[in-house]
Amino acid sequence: MSLTQIQRMPTGCPGLDHVLAGGFPTGRSTLLSGTAGSGKTVLALQFLHDGVRDYDQRGVFLTFEERPEQLRANAASLGFDIAGMEEQGTWAFVDASYHPDRDEQQVGPFDFGALLLRLRHAVESVGATRVALDSVGAVFTRYQDATVVRRELMRVTDLLRELGVTAIVTSERAEEYGQIGRHGVEEFVCDNVLVLRNALEQETRRRTIEVLKMRGVDHLTGEFPFTIVPQSGIVVITLENTALNAPSADER
Amino acid sequence: MSLTQIQRMPTGCPGLDHVLAGGFPTGRSTLLSGTAGSGKTVLALQFLHDGVRDYDQRGVFLTFEERPEQLRANAASLGFDIAGMEEQGTWAFVDASYHPDRDEQQVGPFDFGALLLRLRHAVESVGATRVALDSVGAVFTRYQDATVVRRELMRVTDLLRELGVTAIVTSERAEEYGQIGRHGVEEFVCDNVLVLRNALEQETRRRTIEVLKMRGVDHLTGEFPFTIVPQSGIVVITLENTALNAPSADER
Amino acid sequence: MSLTQIQRMPTGCPGLDHVLAGGFPTGRSTLLSGTAGSGKTVLALQFLHDGVRDYDQRGVFLTFEERPEQLRANAASLGFDIAGMEEQGTWAFVDASYHPDRDEQQVGPFDFGALLLRLRHAVESVGATRVALDSVGAVFTRYQDATVVRRELMRVTDLLRELGVTAIVTSERAEEYGQIGRHGVEEFVCDNVLVLRNALEQETRRRTIEVLKMRGVDHLTGEFPFTIVPQSGIVVITLENTALNAPSADER
Amino acid sequence: MSLTQIQRMPTGCPGLDHVLAGGFPTGRSTLLSGTAGSGKTVLALQFLHDGVRDYDQRGVFLTFEERPEQLRANAASLGFDIAGMEEQGTWAFVDASYHPDRDEQQVGPFDFGALLLRLRHAVESVGATRVALDSVGAVFTRYQDATVVRRELMRVTDLLRELGVTAIVTSERAEEYGQIGRHGVEEFVCDNVLVLRNALEQETRRRTIEVLKMRGVDHLTGEFPFTIVPQSGIVVITLENTALNAPSADER
Amino acid sequence: MSLTQIQRMPTGCPGLDHVLAGGFPTGRSTLLSGTAGSGKTVLALQFLHDGVRDYDQRGVFLTFEERPEQLRANAASLGFDIAGMEEQGTWAFVDASYHPDRDEQQVGPFDFGALLLRLRHAVESVGATRVALDSVGAVFTRYQDATVVRRELMRVTDLLRELGVTAIVTSERAEEYGQIGRHGVEEFVCDNVLVLRNALEQETRRRTIEVLKMRGVDHLTGEFPFTIVPQSGIVVITLENTALNAPSADER
Amino acid sequence: MSLTQIQRMPTGCPGLDHVLAGGFPTGRSTLLSGTAGSGKTVLALQFLHDGVRDYDQRGVFLTFEERPEQLRANAASLGFDIAGMEEQGTWAFVDASYHPDRDEQQVGPFDFGALLLRLRHAVESVGATRVALDSVGAVFTRYQDATVVRRELMRVTDLLRELGVTAIVTSERAEEYGQIGRHGVEEFVCDNVLVLRNALEQETRRRTIEVLKMRGVDHLTGEFPFTIVPQSGIVVITLENTALNAPSADER
Ligand SMILES: Nc1ncnc2c1ncn2[C@@H]1O[C@H](COP(=O)(O)OP(=O)(O)OP(=O)(O)O)[C@@H](O)[C@H]1O
Ligand SMILES: Nc1ncnc2c1ncn2[C@@H]1O[C@H](COP(=O)(O)OP(=O)(O)OP(=O)(O)O)[C@@H](O)[C@H]1O
Ligand SMILES: Nc1ncnc2c1ncn2[C@@H]1O[C@H](COP(=O)(O)OP(=O)(O)OP(=O)(O)O)[C@@H](O)[C@H]1O
Ligand SMILES: Nc1ncnc2c1ncn2[C@@H]1O[C@H](COP(=O)(O)OP(=O)(O)OP(=O)(O)O)[C@@H](O)[C@H]1O
Ligand SMILES: Nc1ncnc2c1ncn2[C@@H]1O[C@H](COP(=O)(O)OP(=O)(O)OP(=O)(O)O)[C@@H](O)[C@H]1O
Ligand SMILES: Nc1ncnc2c1ncn2[C@@H]1O[C@H](COP(=O)(O)OP(=O)(O)OP(=O)(O)O)[C@@H](O)[C@H]1O
Ligand SMILES: [Mg+2]
Ligand SMILES: [Mg+2]
Ligand SMILES: [Mg+2]
Ligand SMILES: [Mg+2]
Ligand SMILES: [Mg+2]
Ligand SMILES: [Mg+2]
């Protein structure tokens, strides 16, 4: 009996790959859920950036809220030269952010169909294997009904699977603990779920990352602390990389 | 006075059978409730897989969310060769997962009637004695009204009883503790209820399984820890199997 | 001054009669509220069964959810030969359980009137003095409005009083502590309220029974632990029966 | 300057009069709020009973839920001979309890106007100075709107003030702590509010009585334990009566 | 640079003036929020009473719930001779309390406009500089919509500012901690907010007063205990007055 | 590779600039969320005032609730001479506060469009680089729908970005901990979020300021205590300024 196993795509961030036990499941989407400022966008940028830089894998970043120019500036503070990659044709933005003058009439249900066509086009033009959607929360606020959220999210992950890309889909949550997604269904629909936390303990904040679920693969469980380092990005702290940096017993 | 007792169907997982005090009540359904990633699908797959492998009992797996090809891949990571069983005719999928292109119009109440016909057909074709429905939560999100959930769940368990199969019906819950089912009625309708938990304690996760109720039979009570082992599946830890593995007092 | 006191009907379960300070108030109904699997049906079966066996009092069991054949099987696991009693004419079921094929159209308000007629008929045919209704929760889920629940419950207890029977009416609650009835009014309408709990403490379950209120009579207060013993049923643990079983001080 | 002070009406229950610092404010209503079985009806019965027996003050008891015959039986268990008082013309019931056959159509807003006329008539016929309304909760369940509850409760207390009687108005609450009245407004409308609690601590119940507010008079604050004694009724435990019963230091 | 500072109006209650760091901001309104029986009406009466007695400042008391005759009686218990002041023309009531016979039809939105006219007239007739509105909660219960509460409260404080009076506006809250106003907006609209608490700790009650905010002025922060003393009223306990009453170190 | 970094605008408050690691991101808006009385208006006033005084940067203050004359008086208590600055043409108010007589009909959705035109005009007339909007909460109370809040807030921040100003936008929250914005979406829309807290601990209040998120820049994390000093304003306490005031090690 020889069964085909699910492949992994290393992210490029050593600590994170350790927690993921190798990387994201190739060809599948991962939901990245977190409160405001928890680091969702930073992680999404870094996943694509490192793909281009370290693995020659191109990226498409679909943004629902921040404008591409803002994302470029924010990424610059992490040392990521997105503009440069855009010029090289290894990175493309799909801009689905809200433009008051242009999108004035947009109150009804969001037209995901048209957007997914634009996404498909960008992925094919760039030849992308990594994709980020940041954040579907901006769109899902419109839906009262969990059934609609469920269906639309399924539609999105379905297209991403069809495109054969490995994707990060960010989503919002209002509190650090309790229900994962805002509508209480997001975490069930997706194959893989990561949670970013920025918890207030006493008077200090503590950032952690956790793999809540990854269907069909092994992974580390529980919360792992991380920091966001200027000119670098997210650095996940695991026993392994702590060990690497610590002086070995012999040296003492 | 000689009274006919309810029979048990061993699952094939030793720890679990110990907790169940013999196995699932034969010919009845068991509700398996748990949060996202708690192991519902793994347990459902394993129940059917072990039935085929160890007891020559065939299985039908009705899936509401994950596609059969995904389930095959995920099962492969647990060492379960589903495709092989499908070829042998001992396993069949009923695919009720959402296909955006095909099911576009599906927003109203779910048509359980048609689906149950397909299920009946599959069970009869395969000659199945074990059945899994994973997960009714995907469908029940649509219902606002607990009365409808109650009635539909009853309709499902009614058919399963009529088919004479022993079944696992998985259902979603958003939090590890408190109310069992999402609508607060699921646990009353079903004869048997198991709860899978994946609780965050300090910064680590702890998986447990518990028999909340099993009508008309004895069972162990309380939470029992378990792990999901690559190439094996769920391993429930009870004093019994701990004792088996621990060195005996004499040996020390 | 000589005032007529409320009479008691011993249940047949020694521990429970001790907690009730004699038994249920004769000719009145008692609400039995508990979570799924807390033992409501077991206690209701046992109350009727012991009445037939020990006091020559006949019983009618009105079931809203489980089918009579299931109840017979479940009762058998407790050593109760219901079928035998049915044959002797000392026990009768009124089957108000849901039959999908038959009751398809039933979504509007439940027709309690017709059902109560059937109940009256059964009580008179059998000559019953003990009655169980299990569980009104299955029907009350339909009502959004607490006023309707209040009125219907009053209608039920009114008929039961008129019939002169001593009755147990079971009802659902979603959590072990807090509000007694699902609609927050059930416990006010009824003369007597018992609560069954199956609380999760650390990782183990603990079953208790408590008399929340019994109008016009004395009773023990607080929670008393109980167990469900195969081939026996509910055994309530009180200091008294503990004392009986424990070796006396002299013997040591 | 000589200002007219609010008079007190001793209840007849020594412990309670101590907590009330003399008794209920004469000519005003007191709201008695408590969970099911907390002792509201017992206290209301006792207030009227002791008035007749000890102070030659007659009483009218308006009942919304329990039937007069039930109340007579329940009172008998406390040693109160209500039937005797009814015969002497010192006690009268106004029966506003629900009669399914008679009151079938009653679903709309309750007609308080007609009822208050009956109450006025009874008060005047009997020459009552003490009145009990037990419990307005049975009627207020019908109102979704706190404004209506507020207005109706005001209408009731207004009539009671006009009649010149000193009254107890009982009302329901679902939980022992938190919000006083079910609609969150009852405690604001009334001049005086007493709370009866029957709290579960560990596994035992503890009954307490508390004066939440009494406008324009002094009173003891905080919770005082009480018990319900067969053939006696409510006995409030205060330092004072504890002291009376305890042997003095000299005697030891 | 010389900037005009906000003036203070001493209340007459020494402890309170200490907490307020001088008194209420002159010409502005202060919201007084508290649970039932927390002392709102006592404080409002005392503020006006002390103004008349100690500072020759006249008062108008607009009452939404209690009738003037009741307020006079209640005030008498605190040693306040309101009737005397009314005779002297230094105190006037505006009676906006509910009269069932008169105000039967009043269910729609409250007509604040007409009432404010009556208030203006009273203030001008009496020549009042201190005003109390007790309590707007009685009226705001009618509004579902926080926007309406916000607007009406603004309308009230606007008129009070225009009249040039220094006012106390009382409002209801259902719980001692958490959200300040019932609608969650009251505390934002008002310039100054005081909170009265009557918290249950173990089995005793503890009264405290706190300045939650006072725009544009300094004040003490945190909770200060107070008591309501018969024939005196509210006595706030601060370190200062504790010090005054305690024997100095030298004397011991 | 040379990437353009986001510039900082020092606030003028040393402690705050330290927490912000330099100041607010230039040309972007910062959401300032806090409970009633937490210091939002004081900080907004101070940000503009210090800009005029210390950096020759002009300011426009758009007020939704407090009238300009009140703000001038309140600012005076902090030693800020706003009237003087208005005369010099370095400060302008845009008055969007509610005027009952004028704005009677205003119940529908707020017309942000017209207001933003007035804001643009003021900014251009004054030549402002610093802007405050205090508080959008007053307007957002009207919206039930989080989608509308999201869109309107985006519209506001969009205009502010287009105007090239650095802005503080204040918003309300009802509780010190938990969800940041009232509608649970405000914190996601904005690039930068500051939280002011005024938490009750035991019986005292403790004010803190925290940077919840600042996209694309580094900042200190966690809560920093601050006080509001008469004639000065907000003083944030950090280790740095504590160190400055403490005697150095050498001096001891
Ligand atoms: N260059 C940087 N140096 C240090 N920290 C940074 C840098 N850039 C961003 N951060 C940190 O990352 C946070 C923003 O993270 P990010 O934008 O990824 O959050 P998010 O989860 O996407 O939030 P939102 O839901 O609000 O978009 C900032 O608040 C800051 O604390
Ligand atoms: N091959 C494997 N090796 C180790 N762990 C695995 C393996 N496959 C699955 N798991 C674990 O099982 C979890 C998935 O379990 P499963 O899919 O049964 O959850 P579920 O309860 O069905 O969740 P959902 O409601 O989201 O479908 C994964 O998150 C992973 O932790
Ligand atoms: N023969 C038996 N031996 C031991 N325990 C039993 C036996 N029969 C039932 N039980 C126990 O009783 C529980 C079922 O109790 P019961 O059916 O009375 O619950 P219930 O309160 O009526 O629940 P529901 O609301 O779901 O109907 C089972 O979960 C099991 O733990
Ligand atoms: N004769 C008695 N001897 C001892 N205890 C009694 C006696 N009569 C009543 N009780 C106690 O008083 C309780 C009933 O109190 P009561 O009927 O006053 O409650 P209640 O607050 O009116 O409840 P409800 O809201 O359900 O009407 C009983 O549950 C019982 O514990
Ligand atoms: N003369 C008095 N002597 C002692 N305490 C008194 C006296 N008068 C009133 N009190 C106390 O004050 C309380 C009533 O306070 P008050 O009427 O001011 O409350 P409130 O906050 O206005 O409540 P509500 O919202 O119900 O009107 C009484 O419950 C009592 O405890
Ligand atoms: N001159 C002053 N001296 C000392 N403290 C002051 C002074 N002015 C204001 N304060 C303090 O600041 C608080 C008001 O702060 P501010 O008006 O900024 O709150 P806010 O967050 O805007 O509240 P709101 O949402 O109610 O408008 C006052 O309650 C007071 O404690
Ligand atoms: Mg983001
Ligand atoms: Mg699953
Ligand atoms: Mg049952
Ligand atoms: Mg009662
Ligand atoms: Mg009051
Ligand atoms: Mg403000």
CB atoms F37 and E212 under 8 Å: yes
Residue pLDDT, tens place only, A101-142: 666 555 555 677 889 999 999 999 999 999 999 999 888 887
Looking at the predicted structure, is the pLDDT value of residue A179 above 90? no
Q: Is E98 on the interface with F (CB under 8 A)?
A: no
The per-residue pLDDT for B12 is: 86
For residue B91, the cross-strand partners are: B59
Mean pLDDT, chain F, rounded, equals: 90
pLDDT-derived band at A207 (thresholds 50, 70, 90) equals very high
- C223-229 and C204-214 as β-strands: parallel, antiparallel, unpaired? antiparallel
Q: Are the beta carbons of F61 and F48 closer than 8 angstroms?
A: yes
Instruction: Looking at the CA of residue F192, tell me the nearest atom of ligand 1.
Output: 29
Nearest chain F residue (CA) to A34 = F188
**Residues belonging to chain A:** 252
pLDDT-derived band at F245 (thresholds 50, 70, 90) equals very low
Looking at the predicted structure, is the pLDDT value of residue B248 above 80? no
The residue contributing the CA closest to ligand 6 atom 18 is F39
Residue pLDDT, tens place only, E14-40: 899 999 999 999 999 999 999 999 999
Instruction: Looking at the CA of residue C38, tell me the nearest atom of ligand 3.
Output: 21
Write a three-state SS string for F168-198.
Answer: EEEEECCCCCCCCCCCCCHHHHCCEEEEEEE
Looking at the predicted structure, is the pLDDT value of residue B99 above 90? no
Report the predicted TM-score, pTM, of the whole model to 2 decimal places: 0.94
Looking at the predicted structure, is the pLDDT value of residue E145 above 90? no
Mean pLDDT, chain B, rounded, equals: 90
Residue pLDDT, tens place only, B50-60: 999 999 999 99
pLDDT-derived band at C106 (thresholds 50, 70, 90) equals low
Q: Measured from the CB, is residue F98 less than 6 Å from ligand 1?
A: no
Q: Are the beta carbons of B153 and B190 closer than 8 angstroms?
A: yes
The per-residue pLDDT for F249 is: 39
Cβ-Cβ contacts under 8 Å, E225 against chain D: none
The per-residue pLDDT for E5 is: 82
Residue pLDDT, tens place only, C123-172: 999 999 999 999 998 888 878 788 888 988 999 999 999 999 999 999 99
Q: Are the beta carbons of F191 and F158 closer than 8 angstroms?
A: no
CB atoms C193 and D36 under 8 Å: yes
The per-residue pLDDT for E104 is: 57
The per-residue pLDDT for C248 is: 41
The per-residue pLDDT for F108 is: 56
Q: Rounded to a whole number, what is the distance in Å from the CA of C99 to chain B's nearest CA?
A: 8
Q: What percent of chain A has pLDDT above 90? A: 73
pLDDT-derived band at E114 (thresholds 50, 70, 90) equals confident
The per-residue pLDDT for E37 is: 98
Mean pLDDT, chain E, rounded, equals: 90
Looking at the predicted structure, is the pLDDT value of residue C109 above 80? no
- Cβ neighbours of D120 (radius 10 Å): 16
Cβ-Cβ contacts under 8 Å, E216 against chain F: 70, 73-77
ipTM over the 0.90 cut-off: yes
Task: Report the pLDDT averaged over residues A66-92.
Answer: 97
pLDDT-derived band at F248 (thresholds 50, 70, 90) equals very low
Mean pLDDT, chain C, rounded, equals: 90
pLDDT-derived band at A169 (thresholds 50, 70, 90) equals very high
Is chain B touching chain C, with at least 3 CB–CB pairs below 8 Å?
yes
Cβ-Cβ contacts under 8 Å, A99 against chain F: 158
Q: Rounded to a whole number, what is the distance in Å from the CA of F95 to chain E's nearest CA?
A: 15
Instruction: Please give the torsion angle defined by the CA atoms of residues B48, B53, B59 and B65, in that order, rounded to the nearest 10 degrees.
Output: 40
pLDDT-derived band at B104 (thresholds 50, 70, 90) equals low
Looking at the predicted structure, is the pLDDT value of residue C103 above 90? no
Rounded Cα–Cα distance for residues B47 and B33 (Å): 15
Angle at B106 between CA B104 and CA B107, to 5 degrees: 120
pLDDT-derived band at C233 (thresholds 50, 70, 90) equals very high
Residue pLDDT, tens place only, F109-154: 667 788 999 999 999 999 999 999 999 988 888 787 888 889 889 9
Among the partner residues F36, F76, F200, nearest to E213 by beta-carbon distance: F36
Mutate to test the pocket of ligand 2, among A215, A217, A220, A221 (most ligand atoms within 8 A of CB): A215
Looking at the predicted structure, is the pLDDT value of residue E246 above 50? no
Residue pLDDT, tens place only, E82-103: 999 999 999 999 999 987 766 6
Calculate the alpha carbon distances from E100 to C104, D156, D162 in Å: 50, 9, 12
Under-50 pLDDT residues of chain D: 243-252
pLDDT-derived band at A22 (thresholds 50, 70, 90) equals very high
Residue pLDDT, tens place only, E197-225: 999 998 999 999 999 999 999 999 999 99
**Nearest residue to D168 (alpha-carbon basis) of D15, D74, D49, D5:** D49
Q: Measured from the CB, is residue F216 less than 6 Å from ligand 1?
A: yes
Task: Report the pLDDT averaged over residues E174-186.
Answer: 90
Residue E178 DSSP class: S
Looking at the predicted structure, is the pLDDT value of residue F12 above 70? yes
Q: What percent of chain F has pLDDT above 90? A: 73
Q: Is the pLDDT higher at D104 or at B15? A: B15
Residue pLDDT, tens place only, C54-86: 999 999 999 999 999 999 999 999 999 999 999
Task: Report the pLDDT averaged over residues F28-46.
Answer: 98
The per-residue pLDDT for A186 is: 92
Q: Rounded to a whole number, what is the distance in Å from the CA of C46 to chain D's nearest CA?
A: 25
Among the partner residues B1, B179, B189, nearest to C174 by beta-carbon distance: B179
**Nearest residue to A74 (alpha-carbon basis) of F155, F150, F4, F162:** F4
Q: Rounded to a whole number, what is the distance in Å from the CA of D56 to chain C's nearest CA?
A: 19
Residue pLDDT, tens place only, C193-232: 999 999 999 899 999 999 999 999 999 999 999 999 999 9
Residue pLDDT, tens place only, F193-226: 999 999 999 899 999 999 999 999 999 999 999 9
